[in-house]
Structure 1
């Protein structure tokens, strides 16, 4: 070292991201994946490289935030799951009484699924091997959408419009399964000559919701 010269400094490494930049990049990656998913309507067409190009970042940057494509796409769809809860709750709030609110929540779920088929497919129709572990059980069981559906059923029981003694959780899951079945089939088999979606919806809700209503009462004086 030359006399009088200052100490030799090591080469500067990559500058640290400013506070909030990492979270902003993460949001940009999610937004890019969302745009591609909506544009292509095909999960298989949304590759990590395509997402990187859409977001304007290098592919390795994505892996700093997401382990793989499944985790990334499920987070995109998780936002839609929150939007689903908001849409169904908004619809239920317009109900004229608890039973009408329950029906309106079911209608909103049905329409939301058909309007967002690829998101619905990823969330509810994916193979267990490509589903992030948390989405196999915990996230669905803890989802606000399911909790609010159970609350609606409980209000119907409390109001005396459903048979006493029914299990609100079981009723909610049964209603979810029925509407999910209709949505899933119409998404998976779009070329099938289905009846009008509104007719299908009315039939499912009539048999599922009103089938749990109070049994008809005998006319006054019957049996005398």
Structure 2
């Protein structure tokens, strides 16, 4: 393979970005981290392997950068989705849809990012908790609290823990939908994320209902509540 021309002085950051992009493409194409060798990446970019080591200590460091880039681009996608809506519930559902859609568009990197441990042994999924993408989930929780959808965490013994729990609930729904759609693509998921949106909507609506009927309401209690709501609706309709 022909080598690229010598880069001009000061273009190292551009080359670093090309290296990360090439590694991500190899991961997506082969769906296997073993395909992302330093030599394979060097060949894809058109440089020699020593040029890779000028930017990354080893393959693990390069894969860490691939995961970091994934989370950065995911955050960009989430930001665009949230900006299109004004109501907190609509913004939360848009956040979930964008998360699932981005995962489906980058299946191999998504799977890898959530099972890979970084070069220092820290799981990249733990790193995700500190990214802007997870912060957006926490912001969605705060918006739903302000709306009155979720109880005010100030009323709990551990407000910070409560907010984290609510954000994790949203992430669980979105991550679960994305993971299943990737693992079982032949199941009837519907058009345009139909099933994924349904479960995300159910999660949001269910959390709102729990704050009314009680977090540990029995089946009978929930049934009486629902029947009461329906009875009131029929009375207003007459």
Q: TM-score range by the shorter chain?
A: 0.7 to 0.9
Contact in 2 for aligned 1:84/1:145 (Cα 8 Å): yes
Paired with 1:125 and 1:95, the residues of 2 have a C-alpha distance of: 32
Paired with 1:160 and 1:41, the residues of 2 have a C-alpha distance of: 43
Contact in 2 for aligned 1:71/1:132 (Cα 8 Å): no
What is the CA deviation profile of residues 59-118 of structure 1, one whole-angstrom value per residue up to 9, with x for unaligned ones?
A: 233223222223212312322211111111211122241111111101110111111101
The answer to whether structure 1 residue 46 and structure 2 residue 36 are counterparts is yes
Contact in 1 for aligned 2:97/2:196 (Cα 8 Å): yes
SS of the residue 1:57 aligns to:
coil
Contact in 2 for aligned 1:74/1:122 (Cα 8 Å): no
Structure 1 residues 188 and 138, CA, compared in 2 at 3 Å: closer, same or farther? closer
Shift of 1:134: 4.6
Paired with 1:138 and 1:124, the residues of 2 have a C-alpha distance of: 9
Name the residue aligned to 2:198. Answer: 203
Contact in 2 for aligned 1:103/1:205 (Cα 8 Å): yes
SS of the residue 1:133 aligns to:
coil
Structure 1 residues 103 and 47, CA, compared in 2 at 3 Å: closer, same or farther? same
What is the CA deviation profile of residues 134-178 of structure 1, one whole-angstrom value per residue up to 9, with x for unaligned ones?
A: 544663221001111111110111121234448232111111022
- How is 1:74-223 mapped onto 2 (pairs within 5 angstroms)? 74-126=64-116, 128=117, 132-136=120-124, 139-165=127-153, 167-190=162-185, 192-196=186-190, 198-214=193-209, 215=212, 219=232
SS of the residue 1:95 aligns to:
coil
Contact in 2 for aligned 1:43/1:118 (Cα 8 Å): no
Paired with 1:22 and 1:174, the residues of 2 have a C-alpha distance of: 41
Name the residue aligned to 1:3. Answer: none
Q: Name the structure where helix makes up a greater proportion of residues.
A: 2
Structure 2 residues not aligned, in runs of 5+:
1-6, 157-161, 213-224, 234-238
Instruction: Tell me which structure has the larger Cα radius of gyration.
Output: 1
Structure 1 residues 131 and 124, CA, compared in 2 at 3 Å: closer, same or farther? farther
* Matched pairs, number: 201
TM-score scaled to structure 2, two decimals?
A: 0.72
Shift of 1:131: 5.9
Give RMSD over aligned pairs. Answer: 2.8
